Copies of this chain bind each other. A is one copy, B any other.
């Protein structure tokens, strides 16, 4: 439904040496997809969004919604932003403070070139949009008298009122309370599914991305490093960057002991000497340098000497720090020269200094590509 290919937009940045922007973005979204651009600050998420919206002019590439080409660098096509019929919610919401909520939402209808909307029609559509975001009755409020969450909904309603085919959201939740963010997250997702509108969502919060998306593109320094569904991104990170950016995985470096055929389970030795079993989807050869990621919560932690299921591949270490996260406890464990993050059950905290044993289920250990550069 949305096809982006070879999208490139490079900024020669005045402020610091490194140049920003995006390079060679390509993706193709089926209708109704909830697509998330995830990456650290400055990686080019907003730039991508602005190129699609037409707020920036890409240097190269093509953008097409359905069979309508919005931009084509080669053929010099560039539909101006106000003709693209895209809905967008800005990071700052950009609610116009000099208008009422109603006026804000009615604006896209008032300025619509293609067709005039009768007064009743407009009122109806705005009211509908308001109900969709659960703000019916707020129409007459001045826009300045809204809480963060309400503003965010108004922005959403404004983006939806003229029934765009594509919805763009730039970190819409980033300046809300933790609590409020939780709710809005669920609500947004519900809404999107209810309307079934194709959506591109920008965030640098991995849990947000994982919770909401059908499809995630993890970006790093202007490039997409992995494009996949949440589970895959989380459990089968393609690169070290993805692994460490998503949920702070542990990275284990070592050498493969014996050749393994694709999909088989092999073992590798850490510099510390310990042996860790691991499934190689792509196989591996003896002596090959391996880098693998393990999720904190996939590691089983128990006090030294306590029973632990008899799977081979265990490390011995001591708790350096333990922090209570409510649902569970986050331990920093020092095992030889390795420092590992491990998540344990909230009940019975192991105090710093306790010697512990860590166990690695083979399927939890995932080989990752080491960065070329």
A residues whose Cβ falls under 8 Å from a Cβ of B? 16, 40-41, 145, 148, 177-179, 182, 186, 189-190, 204-207, 210-212, 230-231, 234, 245-248, 295-297, 321, 323-328, 330, 332, 343, 346
Contact = CB atoms under 8 A, between A and B. Distances in A.
A189 B323 contact: yes
Contacts of A248: 179, 182
Contact of A190 (B179, B321, B328): B321
A207 B178 contact: yes
Contact of A321 (B177, B186, B295, B325): B186
A189 B40 CA distance: 23
Contact of A324 (B177, B230, B297, B327): B230
A326 B38 CA distance: 14
Contact of A186 (B41, B210, B323): B323
A212 B189 CA distance: 31
A332 B179 contact: no
A245 B40 CA distance: 28
A326 B234 contact: yes
Contact of A326 (B179, B210, B212): B210
Contacts of A179: 40, 204, 206, 245, 248
Nearest to A244: B179
A330 B179 CA distance: 15
Contacts of A211: 323-325, 330
A332 to B, nearest CB: 7
Given A179-B204, A230-B326, A295-B327, 7 more contacts: A178-B204, A178-B207, A179-B245, A186-B332, A210-B323, A210-B325, A247-B326
Contacts of A189: 321, 323
Contact of A246 (B207, B321, B326): B326
B297 A328 contact: yes
B326 A206 contact: yes
A231 B330 CA distance: 14
B327 A297 contact: yes
A161 B207 CA distance: 36
Chain B CB within 10 Å, residue with most, of A145, A205, A210, A327: A327
A216 B297 CA distance: 26
B190 A178 contact: no
Contact of A325 (B40, B190, B207, B324): B207
A170 to B, nearest CB: 15
A177 B190 contact: no
